Homo-oligomer: A and B are copies of this chain.
Amino acid sequence: MPRLVMKFGGTSVATVERIHNVARHVKREIAAGYDVAVVVSAMSGKTNELVAWCKEAARLHDMREYDAVVASGEQVTSGLLAIALQAQGVAARSWQGWQTPVLTDASHGAARIMSIEPEGIIEGFGRKETAVVAGFQGIHKPSGRITTLGRGGSDTSAVALAAAIGAERCDIYTDVDGVYTTDPRVVSKARRMDRIAFEEMLEMASLGAKVMQVRSVELALKHDMPTYVRSSFDDPDDPRPGTLICREEDIMESQVVTGVAFSRDEAQITLRRVIDKPGVAASVFMPLAEAGINVDMIVQTISDDSMTDMTFTVAASDFDRARALLEKAKGEIGFAALAGAKDVAKVSVVGVGMRSHAGVAAKGFRALAEKGVNIRAISTSEIKFSVLIDAAYTELAVRTLHTLYGLDGED
């Protein structure tokens, strides 16, 4: 029998009633002839509650204990869904991370899956038993301690499990019905895509489209696992197909531009009059890297005689820490002043077609200029370009680019 992994996020399992609805989705796929492994998140809000308790217990807490506490959320959902499935006549059992087992490294709170040993689950399939796997968690075998994969880790659990059991595909059920050309709350003409290439989805996820977590898309790409994003709120007997994330080759008519992503969680830091000597970039970025702060867009301009201005962005949540670290290293780096801005946004245009079409970005810059949107920084890759702009212009820029590249659907 072909195998299928179905993953349901927190809002899809927020109540026992919704868990019963999830069971109906699972039942449909079993009737369609699949052996199914379901991956579940914690009930909506539960993870936040557990994290808040850990923080209340101690600001700096042992991440091994944090993992033991937080992993309990998915444990609850996996048991409840197994019960709901049984009540609907489907043989099922729950699998905790340590039971499957899902083997991870020891990076508690942000562990990486090393391997999954799916023999127990596959034996269950032989007995027509559906597996309900607690997402987001695993075990570090040498220490025997529970680990969690970090926020959004349930998507990663699902894709990794799909690869481990040789699933035909992986269905990520969420509270939206697919991947859109941009956020429909900002652009009413945003369209749901039928298909999107792994590489495009990876950029969209990295750039602020929150529908799937970056690591899980990377994993789907690595294992060439066709992955659907679809809605758990559809009628279980007549659901819509959602968006298929697949290989570029499997998309018949690819467009030059696939989507427009944006993120307001950015902050800009500019170091004025940095002495432009060899190794200065390292002296700026090493302390940030050591503190786990990711630097994104970097622009360097010559201000005058052997002096340079350096502008770069960090996540807004890292802004205060980054600023403090740099001020501390001011003497060592050698700069005149630090200017920061949190009211900035990054808008990105993504499409594999950019590889073969020249001038896509230039066209975008011109359109933004015509609307009076000032570009503070630019970064590009093979299949996307991003601009940093004043946050107040976010919606205007997104709408302008969405229309420019022919993405608008019906209003």
Contacts and interface: CB of A to CB of B under 8 A. Distances in A.
Interface of A: 16, 19-20, 50, 53-54, 56-58, 61-62, 64-69, 71-73, 75-76, 78-80, 82-84, 86-87, 93-94, 96, 98-99, 144-146
A84 B144 CA distance: 22
B72 A75 contact: yes
Contacts of A96: 68, 146
B87 A58 contact: yes
A87 B16 contact: no
The 3 closest A-B pairs by CB, nearest first: A69-B79, A58-B87, A72-B72
B79 A94 contact: no
Given A80-B69, A93-B65, A98-B98, A87 B50 contact: no
B83 A58 contact: yes
26 contacts: A16-B57, A20-B57, A57-B80, A58-B84, A58-B86, A58-B87, A61-B83, A62-B86, A62-B93, A64-B93, A65-B79, A65-B80, A65-B83, A65-B86, A65-B94, A66-B79, A68-B75, A68-B78, A68-B82, A68-B96, A69-B83, A71-B75, A72-B75, A75-B75, A96-B146, A99-B145
Contact of A65 (B66, B82, B98): B82
Contacts of A98: 98
Nearest to A99: B144
A122 to B, nearest CB: 16
Contacts of A73: 72
Q: Is the interface of A mostly helix, strand, loop or mixed?
A: helix
Contacts of A86: 58, 61-62, 65
Give the residue among A54, A57, A64 with the most B Cβ atoms within 10 A.
A57
A20 B61 CA distance: 14
Nearest to A84: B57
Given A53-B76, A56-B16, A87-B58, A94 B68 contact: yes
A97 to B, nearest CB: 12
A68 B133 CA distance: 12
A83 B56 CA distance: 10
A73 B144 CA distance: 20
A388 B67 CA distance: 51
B16 A53 contact: yes
A50 B69 contact: no
A72 B137 CA distance: 14
A76 B72 contact: yes
Nearest to A16: B56
Contacts of A94: 65, 68
Nearest to A43: B53
A142 to B, nearest CB: 13
Contacts of A144: 99
A66 B50 contact: no
Nearest to A94: B68
Contacts of A82: 62, 65, 68
A118 to B, nearest CB: 15
Give the residue among A50, A76, A84, A87 with the most B Cβ atoms within 10 A.
A76
A298 to B, nearest CB: 38
Contacts of A87: 57-58, 61
